[in-house]
Chains A and B, each alone.
Chain A
Amino acid sequence: MFLRTPRRHMILVWVVGALVAAACGGPAAPAPSFLGTVAPPARVQQVAVAYDLSGRGDGGFNDIAYNGAKQAADELGVEITEVTAKLDDTDDDRAERLRLLAAAGFDPIIGVGFTYAVPMQIVAAEFPNVHFGIVDDATVVAPNVQGINFSEHEGSFLVGAAAGLTSETGIVGFIGAVKIPLLQKFEAGYVAGASAANPSIEVQVTYLSQPPDYSGFGDPPHGREAALGMYDNGVDVIFAAAGGSGSGVHEAAALSGNWSIGVDADEYLIAPEAVRSHILTSMLKNANVGTYQIVMSVAAGTFVAGNLTFGLANGGVGYAQSGGFVSDVKAQLDAFAAQISAGTIVVPEAP
């Protein structure tokens, strides 16, 4: 169905095609609803990324999403711009942000975060020739919008299993940034993975803040205190699904001589030298894969509307092996991964 552009950019066609095919192949991934309706090809001149509250510089998800779009923009030699939201933004404000970008000639426009869903539905209809992408939402239905979603619960399952297999006390912890469904997906997967690896495991769960207080994404001291409390309670592995606050959790792990688990990026590679030896693994959420492919697909004229899901099966999520601390349990983790990809293990998405 992608053979409408048979000759040009075969590699890109193959990449997107493989991703979509993989997404369709995975049982947890519903088939994109608009598959096949390709909007008119456009020449990418300017790429725009609109962020939700936590914005850029969070050292995690938003930065990774940006990196993918940036890499694509660099390869195409085009300009990239970014805009950020405010706490008291209404849907109308967000819609205007997208509208201004579209009117200024930006294409594609990528909204990072579910708060752009309602505004994008409106603005996409006003600019039918502009391509839009939305990360972490699958509700926008339009012939020029692509939803980019990740099976965070699947990756979290694997690091949960790693925690369950590594824990000596039989108690592991989960620290989420803000108690929102997106992060509860991480929690659900983590708890399921830990229990699958060790049925008698106890999982302690806490969140750093509650909406509309999004400070939990960027508050390392808070993360550190929460983690120290857990380690005092006998927890010996903590999964920090807490954006920038995670660095505090890693610090606490180093201080108390326990393990922590990173999120989104391979945190072993970016953490300070002193805490590296305490980062057991990281749950990788490769948002860059999603944002990269959307820019490139618009350039190649192979843009597909509908929802794409990036899971274990197509490399959208996974676990990091830097440091080699999970090499003992790698065989078991990979076995779990294979079962998830094959559909024999269905990971819950809500706690």
Chain B
Amino acid sequence: MRTRVRGAGLLLVAPTAALALALAVACGVLAVTGANPIATLREALTYGLQPATLVAIVNKAIPYYLAGIAAAIGFHLRLFNIGIDGQYRLAAFAAAVIGAAVALPAPLHLALIAVVAVIVGSGWAAIAGFLFVRRGVNVVISTIMLNAVATGIIAYLLSPLRLAQQAAGSNNVTTATIPESGWIPGISTSAGDLNGLLIPALVVGIGYWLVLNRTTLGFEVRALGLNGRAAAVAGMRGPRLALLTMAASGAIAGLVGLPQLLGASHRFGLDFPAGLGFTGLSVAILGRNHPAGIAIGAFLWAFLERSAQVLDLAGISREVVTILQAVIVLSVVVAFELVRRLRERQERRYVAAAIEGAPA
């Protein structure tokens, strides 16, 4: 009983220690660059906690969250899906082209766009899954390559000669704008509109948790991730699960571009945000693959990104924020590893004590 209480305490110690360490490093970096750490952090906090900023932070966190879930799905099988970036960009591009080409009643239109995004995202990820299962190609390598291929495909098709257009006087190239029936309405608050994708994103998080913890499939995935050989002996089909996991990861990755596409820009262009997939990997690590943890990680990340804007103005290089983010991820990993070892030792001691105490 006492061990269990101490275990729960340890679980809280890890993230707290990680955050404290990150803050200490941040203060150190700020001091070295000649800024006043306390004043700077206060300024960032004051700005970050304004209602309008908070709304913007939540909006920014939504794609991070979806990308984090997509990454976490792969992590359970130790599949490092670096291709989330290519998957969501290709999915958003395809969804934008098809969404702009049709006119449907609002719910159908939105559903069609989302389905296209999911299919393209999962299909693109499944290529890497298939190569892994059939040919043993490392997923890290294949997904990196597929990112480059996705970039090439988009660059080829996103041209006034093919599926895009260039407005007179503009240097941007965009797909046609999706008609209003394909826009997702915002959730209005007194401090501004929350992106309408917030609720679907939360549903995705809950669905992820349910599938993983309340279904046979989820059990098999977890078992396979923890001990592949034992799972295989128990009759679980590893390759099939790996392919499925990659496809599922890609399907969620396909949604990452939708908050921007459906809720803000309504078109895909050269200015479409890129690099969200890599943030997703960090956010999933921060959140320990747990949907609530990933939500916290996504929010923290978005908070840092958004607060960086005032730092820029205060003459503090925004790279300080990048350093801070890296330190947080590293310290979370280290802190949890330390806690894991501590627990292991405790368990060993407990078992040893139990054996010694028991009659031979």
Which of chain B's residues 153-188 have a Cβ closer than 8 Å to chain A?
155, 158, 160, 166-173
Contact A88 B318 (CB under 8 A): no
Q: Tell me the minimal C-beta distance from B315 to chain A in angstroms.
A: 7
Among candidates A101, A115, A307, residue contacting B271 with C-beta atoms closer than 8 Å? A115
Q: Does A81 contact B (CB under 8 A)?
A: yes
Chain B interface category by residue count: 35 or more
Q: Which residue of A lies closest to B147 (CB)?
A: A213
Residues of chain B with a CB closer than 8 A to A87's CB? 273-275
Q: Does B312 contact A (CB under 8 A)?
A: yes
Q: Does A58 contact B (CB under 8 A)?
A: no
Query: What total of A-B pairs shows CB separation below 8 Å?
Result: 97
Q: Tell me the minimal C-beta distance from A150 to chain B in angstroms.
A: 11
Q: Tell me the minimal C-beta distance from A316 to chain B in angstroms.
A: 16
Q: Does B219 contact A (CB under 8 A)?
A: no
Interface string of B59-79 (1 = CB under 8 A from A): 110000000000000000000
Q: Does A90 contact B (CB under 8 A)?
A: yes
Residues of chain A with a CB closer than 8 A to B276's CB? 88
Contact B60 A181 (CB under 8 A): no
Q: Does B56 contact A (CB under 8 A)?
A: yes
Which of chain B's residues 248-271 have a Cβ closer than 8 Å to chain A?
260, 264-265, 270-271
Contact A114 B171 (CB under 8 A): yes
Which of chain A's residues 70-100 have a Cβ closer than 8 Å to chain B?
81, 83-84, 86-93, 96-97, 100
Residues of chain A with a CB closer than 8 A to B167's CB? 139
Contact A213 B151 (CB under 8 A): yes
User: Given A136-B171, A210-B151, A210-B155 in contact, is the A180-B260 Cβ separation under 8 Å?
Assistant: no
Residues of chain B with a CB closer than 8 A to A91's CB? 264-265, 271
Q: Tell me the minimal C-beta distance from A142 to chain B in angstroms.
A: 14
Residues of chain A with a CB closer than 8 A to B151's CB? 210-213
Q: Does A222 contact B (CB under 8 A)?
A: no
User: Given A88-B273, A89-B273, A100-B310 in contact, is the A180-B265 Cβ separation under 8 Å?
Assistant: no
A202 to B298, CA, bound (A): 52
User: Given A83-B312, A104-B313, A210-B151 in contact, is the A90-B171 Cβ separation under 8 Å?
Assistant: no
A101 to B313, CA, bound (A): 8
Q: Tell me the minimal C-beta distance from B134 to chain A in angstroms.
A: 29
Q: Which residue of A lies closest to B273 (CB)?
A: A88
Residues of chain A with a CB closer than 8 A to B310's CB? 100
Contact A137 B170 (CB under 8 A): yes
Residues of chain B with a CB closer than 8 A to A114's CB? 170-172, 270-271
Among candidates B171, B274, B309, residue contacting A181 with C-beta atoms closer than 8 Å? B171
Q: Tell me the minimal C-beta distance from A145 to chain B in angstroms.
A: 13
Query: Which of B160, B169, B271, B272 has the most A CB atoms < 10 Å from its CB?
Result: B271
Which of chain A's residues 153-181 have a Cβ closer than 8 Å to chain B?
179-181
3 tightest Cβ-Cβ pairs between the two chains A and B: A138-B169, A212-B274, A210-B155
Interface on B for A, CB 8 Å cutoff?
56, 59-60, 89, 151-152, 155, 158, 160, 166-173, 260, 264-265, 270-276, 279, 305-306, 309-310, 312-313, 315, 318
Other contacts beyond A88-B279, A100-B310, A213-B151: 8, CB < 8 A:
A88-B275, A90-B273, A92-B56, A101-B313, A137-B169, A137-B171, A137-B172, A212-B274
Q: List 11 A-B contacts (CB under 8 A).
A: A90-B264, A91-B264, A92-B56, A93-B306, A114-B270, A115-B172, A137-B172, A138-B169, A138-B170, A180-B173, A211-B155
